[in-house]
């Protein structure tokens, strides 16, 4: 599909190993694979017989076999291979514990009103100057167990958030100060000795081409209580991925990671809007007088999509020497057994050294000496 005034060509590979075909160098004994009998989304990189130009052949869902631009090897400027695992969004997660000066033998040592504020940034996509604040409140009494305090505070905060039409965060308690294996509000807490409150963002509603993927950014603020002749901030807040509390002091705990969100829905939106750039009728404008489109991206793919980006330029002959830069993008679905297997198969293999060295194949071989193929950290991971 041509997009952005034909500056980008966007292709979606199939999800079956039989239809993602290893690169081929056309010569007297090797030919490009006939895709006519393959499934929709079948694709293969093909190097011409002279070895100086290549293209991607692809089978579309309605128009059969086709190909991308023919790309001169010497005109390739940049190649980036990005694994789906490196585009996963890690849910924001906060763990809140009592300040140690307010606890004695796992019980509250002070009496006061405790408030925990959660500020949702960019509420309903209104921008960072729009913050919605929800809070939980507990009357803490000296001698109350810290576990009961955490449960009461989490319950208060969760009930306050439950009034929202769309859940933004989930609230629970954990038996560990690291926030490991939290039990969320609504689950059975009776057998849990809570050691912390856990707050984690929730995946937001999405609809292709209408409601984009939104991530929930939030801050957590604990109020002050009067203790030992001074106002003390009762809560120590630490986010996953940080070795410090939000007040800047070091923490001995390593917060366990929260859930993740793969990029499948974002890639589905890319496909939608790239189609729409060909004409509003592809985006259901003027319904029912629109062109129904067979979309190839599976938004619910649990393993995400890897990206193959080849940036190159077209240069005319004779006096028409202006360079027109373009990008060929192929998105390839991940698999449970080996998330990058299909994408790696499509581009070929890098050269390896050791007891049984493997020579470079595919793009790695064709572009050797032309450009360095850049790969994300997880691309070659097993």
Model confidence over 109-125: pLDDT tens digits? 999 999 999 999 887 65
What is residue 275's DSSP assignment? H
Is residue 370, in this structure, part of any structural domain at all?
yes
User: Could you tell me the sign of the dihedral formed by the alpha carbons of 334, 335, 337, 342, in that order?
Assistant: negative
Q: DSSP string of 177-246?
A: TT--S-EEBTB--TT----EEEEEE-PPP-BTTTB-----EEEEEE-EEEETTEEEE-EEEEETT-SB-T
Range of the domain at 119: 90-260
Is residue 381, in this structure, part of any structural domain at all?
no
Q: Which of 225, 260, 295 is the last residue of a domain?
A: 260
The pLDDT value recorded for residue 3 is 60
Same domain, 233 and 272: no
Q: Which residues pair with 169 in a beta bridge?
A: 201
Burial class (CB in 10 A: 0-12, 13-18, 19+), 13: buried
Between CA 132 and CA 117 the distance in angstroms is 10
Same domain, 133 and 232: yes
Same domain, 242 and 116: yes
CB proximity list for 358: less than 8 A, separation 6 or greater: 349, 351, 352
Q: Which of 232, 260, 288 is the last residue of a domain?
A: 260
Q: Which residues pair with 58 in a beta bridge?
A: 43, 66
pLDDT tens series, the chain, 382 aa: 556 566 888 999 987 889 999 999 999 889 999 998 899 899 999 999 999 999 999 998 877 899 999 999 999 999 999 999 999 999 999 999 999 999 998 999 999 999 999 999 887 655 667 888 999 999 999 999 999 999 999 999 999 999 888 899 999 999 999 999 999 999 999 999 999 999 999 999 999 888 889 899 999 999 999 998 899 999 999 999 999 999 999 999 999 999 999 999 999 999 988 877 777 777 777 777 777 778 889 999 999 999 999 999 988 777 666 788 999 999 999 988 888 899 999 999 988 877 777 889 999 999 999 999 999 999 986 4
Same domain, 239 and 286: no
Model confidence over 38-88: pLDDT tens digits? 998 999 999 999 999 999 999 988 778 999 999 999 999 999 999 999 999
Same domain, 11 and 49: yes
Residue of 283, 285, 287, 284 lying closest to 272 (CA atoms): 283
The pLDDT value recorded for residue 381 is 62
The pLDDT value recorded for residue 126 is 59
Is residue 347, in this structure, part of any structural domain at all?
yes
The pLDDT value recorded for residue 63 is 76
Is residue 27, in this structure, part of any structural domain at all?
yes
Residue of 330, 327, 325, 340 lying closest to 308 (CA atoms): 330
Same domain, 303 and 234: no
Is residue 382, in this structure, part of any structural domain at all?
no
Is residue 335, in this structure, part of any structural domain at all?
yes
Between CA 120 and CA 61 the distance in angstroms is 42
Strands 24-25 and 43-47: parallel
The pLDDT value recorded for residue 268 is 94
Judge whether 323 and 314 are in contact, CB under 8 Å.
yes
Is residue 173, in this structure, part of any structural domain at all?
yes
Same domain, 190 and 318: no
What is residue 167's DSSP assignment? -
Between CA 328 and CA 195 the distance in angstroms is 51
Query: Residue 325, Cβ neighbours under 10 Å: how many?
Result: 12
Same domain, 252 and 268: no
Q: Which of 236, 260, 284 is the last residue of a domain?
A: 260
Query: Residue 83, Cβ neighbours under 10 Å: how many?
Result: 24
Number of domains in the chain: 2
Same domain, 14 and 115: no
Query: Which stretches of 6-164 are assigned E, i.e. beta strand?
Result: 8-12, 24-25, 43-47, 53-60, 64-67, 71-72, 76-82, 89-90, 93-98, 103-104, 107-108, 112-121, 131-140
Whether the ω angle into residue 241 lies within 30 degrees of 0, i.e. cis, is: no
Same domain, 49 and 105: no
Same domain, 185 and 39: no
Same domain, 81 and 179: no
Is residue 154, in this structure, part of any structural domain at all?
yes
Helical H segments across 260-332, by residue range: 264-276
Judge whether 220 and 96 are in contact, CB under 8 Å.
yes
């Amino acid at each position: 599909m041509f997009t952005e005034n034909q500056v980008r060509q966007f292709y979606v590979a199939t999800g079956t190993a039989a239809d993602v075909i290893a690169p081929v160098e056309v010569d007297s004994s090797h030919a490009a694979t006939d895709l006519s009998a393959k499934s929709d989304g079948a694709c293969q990189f093909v190097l011409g017989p002279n070895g100086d130009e290549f293209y991607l052949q692809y089978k579309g869902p309605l128009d059969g076999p086709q190909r991308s631009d023919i790309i001169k090897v010497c005109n390739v400027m940049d190649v980036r291979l990005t694994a789906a695992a490196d585009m996963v969004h890690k849910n924001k997660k906060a763990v809140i514990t009592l300040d140690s000066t307010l606890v004695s033998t796992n019980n509250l040592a002070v009496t006061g009103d405790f408030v925990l504020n959660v500020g949702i940034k960019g509420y309903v996509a209104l921008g960072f100057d729009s913050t919605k604040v929800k809070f939980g409140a507990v009357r803490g009494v000296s001698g109350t167990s810290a576990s009961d305090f955490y449960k009461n505070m989490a319950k208060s905060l969760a009930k306050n958030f439950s009034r929202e039409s769309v859940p933004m965060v989930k609230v629970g308690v954990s038996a560990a100060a690291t926030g490991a294996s939290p039990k969320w509000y609504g689950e059975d807490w009776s057998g849990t000795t809570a050691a912390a409150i856990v707050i984690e963002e929730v995946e937001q509603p999405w609809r292709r081409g209408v409601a984009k993927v939104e991530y929930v950014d939030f801050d957590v603020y604990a109020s002050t209580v009067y203790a030992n002749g001074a106002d003390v901030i009762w809560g120590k807040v630490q986010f996953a991925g940080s070795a410090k509390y939000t007040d800047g002091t070091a923490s001995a705990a390593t917060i366990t990671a929260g859930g993740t969100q793969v990029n499948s829905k974002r890639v589905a939106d890319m496909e939608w809007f790239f189609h729409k750039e060909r004409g509003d009728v592809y985006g259901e404008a003027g319904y029912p007088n629109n062109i129904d489109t067979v979309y190839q991206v599976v938004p619910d793919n649990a393993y995400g999509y890897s990206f193959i980006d080849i940036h190159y330029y077209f240069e005319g002959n004779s006096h028409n020497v202006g360079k027109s830069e373009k990008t060929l993008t192929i998105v390839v679905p991940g698999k449970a057994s080996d998330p990058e297997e299909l994408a790696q198969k499509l581009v070929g293999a890098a050269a390896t050294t050791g007891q049984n060295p493997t020579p470079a194949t595919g793009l790695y071989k064709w572009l050797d000496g032309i450009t360095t193929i850049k790969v994300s950290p997880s691309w070659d991971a097993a």
